[in-house]
Amino acid sequence: MWGMGGIGKTTIAKAAYNKIRHDFEAKSFLLNVREVWEQDNGKVSLQQRLLSDIYKTTKINIDTVESGKVILQESLQQRRIFLVLDDVNKVDQLNALCGSRKWFGQGSVIIITTRDYDLLHRLKVDYVYIMKEMDDNESLELFSWHAFKQPIPVEGFADLSRDVVKYSGGLPLALQVIGSFLLTRRRKKEWKSVLGKLILIPNDEVLEKLRISFDGLRDDDIKEIFLDIAFFFIGMDQEDVITILDDCGHYADIGISVLVQQSLITVDRKNKIGMHDLLRDTGREIVRKKSIEGGKEPSRLWHYEDVKYVLSKDA
């Protein structure tokens, strides 16, 4: 499963796991592989967890990643297994946890959730399920369950609820977080205030989740390209954007390719560059926070009042 952060990959994987796990001899759901992998002894702990799930015992110990590979290969290949690897971002993680198809018995199924399309391409997986944003009706229902504990908005809040749905852009994470935040607030004035603030400053929980993909970019030049697109180039022709960015000293062709693979931008059939509104807002917030923390003018401006202030000050 491939898609941007917060779009529901883990939720869908959990639903599939719960529905068909009983059809297999053994099963395991390894949650947050990326996060656990970076922890002290995280690599071995993931291997140990997988082994424990399959054999329902903690008596088999793994000392190193390499020894873990050998033990897992010997232990898994005779069994029909259902394995879910959630939030994978490195090939090394897959090499350590599921090596190759030869590790598993006939009829085994592996589901991988990731933000990195290139990772799935290199693995030559059988099928890539591309996650899509929820439509307006689905979004309104999900938001209502979190904001009102029912499938539709309460009387008087339908229009404001649709405003939240529009802001969230079909992203389940945002709908859940904002809905839960508004659950105890029943004054329209409060809702309008929250929405007004969100337009300028994204919710911290949503921002943190979406920023993971940005922080995971290993090339500073690609990070700068992402920020430039978030501020200036959404909706423009890809070739025009590449020309402008190349003239600014960036390596735009490869940068845009990586950003597409990482679910941070899109390029449609008309060759127009797109970006989810909340990813756009995340980029703008990254620049805003960096300027505050550094005590300097922001490197980029998007809000007209900020632009007006800077221009009038320079004049």
Cα separation, 2 vs 194, whole angstroms: 31
Order of all β-strands in the sheet with 109-112: 26-30, 81-85, 109-112
pLDDT of residue 251: 95
Residue 2, domain member (yes or no): no
The last residue of one of the domains, among 151, 182, 200, is 200
Per the structure, the complete domain to which residue 13 belongs is given by 9-123
Beta carbons of 32 and 87 less than 8 angstroms apart? yes
pLDDT of residue 74: 87
What digits encode the pLDDT tens for the residues 278-293? 999 899 889 888 887 7
pLDDT of residue 240: 96
What digits encode the pLDDT tens for the residues 161-208? 999 999 999 999 999 999 999 998 888 999 999 888 887 777 888 888
- Read off the tokens for 254: 């490869």
Q: Taking Cα atoms as reference points, which of 288, 273, 271 lies closest to residue 225? A: 273
Residue 289, domain member (yes or no): yes
Q: Check whether residue 101 and residue 142 sit in a common domain.
A: no
Beta carbons of 245 and 255 less than 8 angstroms apart? yes
pLDDT of residue 195: 87
3-state helix, strand, coil in the chain (%, to 5): 60, 5, 35
Residues 6+ apart with CB under 8 A from 215: none
Residue 1, domain member (yes or no): no
- Read off the tokens for 24: 């297999």
- Read off the tokens for 9: 């990959």
Q: Check whether residue 19 and residue 90 sit in a common domain.
A: yes
pLDDT of residue 245: 96
- Read off the tokens for 231: 């501020």
Residues 6+ apart with CB under 8 A from 154: 148
The last residue of one of the domains, among 200, 226, 251, is 200
Using a 10 angstrom Cβ sphere, with 0-12 exposed, 13-18 middle and 19 or more buried, the burial of residue 106 is exposed
pLDDT of residue 89: 92
Domain with residue 247: its CATH number is 1.10.10
Residue 155, domain member (yes or no): yes
Q: Check whether residue 158 and residue 56 sit in a common domain.
A: no
Cα separation, 73 vs 104, whole angstroms: 8
pLDDT profile of the chain (315 residues), mean per 10: 93 95 94 93 93 83 90 87 95 92 91 94 92 95 95 94 93 92 89 85 84 90 96 95 95 95 93 93 88 78 75 69
Residue 130, domain member (yes or no): no
Q: Check whether residue 93 and residue 186 sit in a common domain.
A: no
pLDDT of residue 76: 86
- Read off the tokens for 136: 């307006």
Q: Is 169 left (phi over 0), alpha (psi -120 to 50) or beta?
A: left
Residue 86 CA, chain-centre distance (Å), reads: 11
Strand ranges (E), 34-168: 81-85, 109-112
Beta carbons of 85 and 110 less than 8 angstroms apart? yes
Q: Check whether residue 101 and residue 167 sit in a common domain.
A: no
DSSP structural state of residue 273: E
Domain with residue 106: its CATH number is 3.40.50.300
Count how many domains the chain has: 3
Q: Check whether residue 177 and residue 212 sit in a common domain.
A: no
**C-alpha neighbours within 13 Å on the C-beta side of residue 11:** 10
